[in-house]
Amino acid sequence: MPYAPEDDEVPNPLRPGLRAETAPEPCAVVIFGASGDLAHRKLVPALYNLAVGGHLPGAFAVVGVAKTGYAHDEFVQDMREAVGKFSRTRPIDPEIWQDFAAGMRYVCGEFDDPDTFARLRNTLEEADRSRATRGNRLFYFATPPSAFPSLLERLKEAGLIRSPLESGFTRVVIEKPFGRDLASARALNRLVLQTFDERQVFRIDHYLGKETVQNLLVFRFGNSIFEPIWNRRYVEHVQITAGEELGIEGRGHYYEEAGVLRDMIQNHVQQLLCLCAMEPPIAYDADGVRDEKLKVLRAVETFDSQERVAADVVLGQYAPGSIAGADVPGYQQEKDVAQGSRTPTFVAARFNVRSWRWDGVPFYVRSGKRMPKRATEIAVHFRRIPHQLFGEGATQPNVLIIRVQPQEGITLRFSAKVPGERYRPRTVSMDFRYGTTFASATPEAYERLLLDAMRGDQTLFTRGDEVEAAWKIAGSILKYTESPAFPRPYLYEAGSWGPRQADQLLARDGRAWRRL
């Protein structure tokens, strides 16, 4: 049957037959945990910026639900302050704000109290009438995971969930952490799928909303020259770094439970690995992309023995130090962190991807808090030239660096002749920078992801089986590292690139981390 665009789709003349920007249908976004940090820093500013960009549906409401006893006006004022402080675009445009704020509602209550949900239901029905939101609801769980079961139960009880077959959509966005190991992720998946159909579930990993991460797909599959060399014949190894200058930012309770493996590796870093290692999907759609990522996760060798973990995983924890000239405390001096805590704030590990394309090409990953600077990148190191024409060691292997943040862009390192009479090669860079190439401002990850959830596009969200496969890998490490018999994390000075054992991990294989 020929493709026929739906009414609200803008036909795309350059790609006939492919879906173009789809405007979301009218809807109400319900934020559970509206008085929390995520709503203030990310969600409400992202929705406001979607309004600024003209991406919100004409009929729209945002309903906050939380325990804090705000009066309606206090809630609106609090959100205005949050937007004033954290929005990508500032100052606030009064006209846009007025329109946006007119759609705000607040419901105060406990997440396990049926009365909260009865009032939420009334509020949503009122929004359907006054804001024409047509019964479409996007529920956003921006709460600690302990609240998820009662949220699911109470939403169902209150009759607030429609099946995908009924008119009017009901969708749920679930924040990380999605479980704390494979067993709890499976249990949570079961619970969520007792209430929702998988097509209604949007498990969020905000890294997938980053422009540079999506560009990895365009870079790999929108160009013909890279794909033929993107494999074990040409690639020698890959390094993925996700370093942050920040410490735990007052989140001691959460971080003590999570540590770097749950906080960064199971989700963000493994997602970067997937996009870097995956096969070309048959289509750029939710299942096309997620099927290929799942295959990568299945191909990653799990860490099945104490010896393997001891050999291929290095854990660290930051000690006091200094960053950009300012003294910072060690992890154990942070608020809500236990004296003698064994929680790792840094990890370096060697991942093996056992597939036709990648067998024998190590993927080294590292992530840490209190590094000398913020730097997230994927560096693809190519093989040496087979015959050294210009003298042993005169040229360095090529490296392709995909900078996720900051200074977003892509750099290719290659050898060039230094001008002069002799053949003296030097490594030089060919650079693409978002900042200078594109005039348009880059939207925040949450803007893109909220918009996709409103549109019903699941491509940049993780599917249930994918989350479980990701836990299988991270969980296989945690199983050993969380046993009391496993050595404590090595201390590293805040402001360094982790313990020296992380360097030894690569040195053992005759390699070194890229200097950032």
Residue 376 CB, nearest approach to ligand BG6 (Å)? 6
Q: Of 97, 94, 106, 33, which Cα lies nearest the Cα of 63? A: 106
Half-sphere exposure of 226 (CA within 13 A, CB side): 19
Residue 172 · residue 192 · CB < 8 Å? yes
Strands (E), 399-450: 399-405, 409-417, 425-433
In Å, how far are 11, 16, 17, 26 from 3, measured between CA atoms?
Answer: 11, 9, 6, 24
- Give the CB-nearest residue to ligand BG6: 263
CB nearer to ligand BG6: pick between 115 and 257: 257
Interatomic CA distance for residues 308 and 460, integer angstroms? 32
Answer yes or no whether residue 444 interacts with ligand BG6 by CB under 6 A.
Answer: no
Q: Which is nearer to ligand BG6, 137 or 370 (CB)?
A: 370
Choose which of 175, 263, 457, 468 interacts with ligand BG6 (CB under 6 A). Answer: 263
Q: How many CB atoms lie within 10 A of CB 294?
A: 21
Closer CB to ligand BG6, residue 243 or residue 330? 243
> Which one, 193 or 246, has the nearer CB to ligand BG6?
246
Residues with Cβ within 8 Å of 289's Cβ and at least 6 positions away in sequence, in order, are 217, 278, 281, 459
Q: Between β-strands 235-243 and 104-108, what pairing exists: parallel, antiparallel or unpaired? A: unpaired
| Binding to ligand BG6 in span 80-119, by CB under 6 A | none
Other beta carbons within 10 angstroms of residue 304's beta carbon come to 11
DSSP 31-66: EETTTSHHIIIIIHHHHHHHHHTT-S-SSEEEEEEE
Distance in Å, CB of 251 to ligand BG6, minimum? 7
Instruction: Report in angstroms how near the CB of residue 244 gets to ligand BG6 at its nearest.
Output: 5
State how far the Cα of 357 lies from the Cα of 280, in Å rounded to an integer: 12
Interface residue with ligand BG6, options 244, 291, 312, 452 (CB under 6 A)? 244
CB of 210 to ligand BG6, least distance (A): 7
SS (H, E, C) 357-373: CCCCCEEEEEEECCCCC
Residue among 255 and 363 whose Cβ is closer to ligand BG6: 255
CB of residue 461 vs ligand BG6: minimum separation in angstroms?
15
Closest to 514 measured CA to CA, from 342, 378, 390: 378
State the nearest-atom distance from the C-beta of 246 to ligand BG6, in Å.
6
Shortest distance in whole angstroms from residue 429 CB to ligand BG6? 24
CB of 371 to ligand BG6, least distance (A): 11
How far is the first Cα of the chain from the last one, in angstroms, to the nearest whole number? Answer: 52
Q: Is 72 a catalytic residue?
A: no
The pair of three-digit structure tokens given for residue 315, joined into one six-digit string: 């854990």
Q: What whole-number distance in Å separates Cα of residue 7 and Cα of residue 461?
A: 25
Which CB sits closer to ligand BG6, 376 or 458?
Answer: 376
Given the complex with ligand BG6, which of 263 and 312 has the nearer CB atom?
A: 263
Number of residues lying near ligand BG6 (CB under 6 A): 4
Pick between residue 212 and residue 398 the one whose CB is nearest to ligand BG6. Answer: 212
Nearer to ligand BG6, 244 or 291 (CB): 244
- Nearest distance from residue 374's CB to ligand BG6, in Å? 7
Could you give the CA distance from residue 67 to residue 112 in angstroms, rounded to a whole number? 11
Q: Site mask, ligand BG6, residues 187-226, x = CB under 6 A?
A: ----------------------------------------
- Containing 236, the helix (H) or strand (E) segment is strand 235-243
Task: Out of 237, 268, 381, 387, pick the active-site residue.
Answer: 268
For residue 91, whether the previous peptide bond is cis, meaning omega lies within 30 degrees of 0, is yes
> What is the C-alpha to C-alpha distance for residues 282 and 363, in angstroms, rounded to an integer?
25
Residues that bind ligand BG6 (CB under 6 A): 244, 246, 263, 376
Cite the active site residues. 268
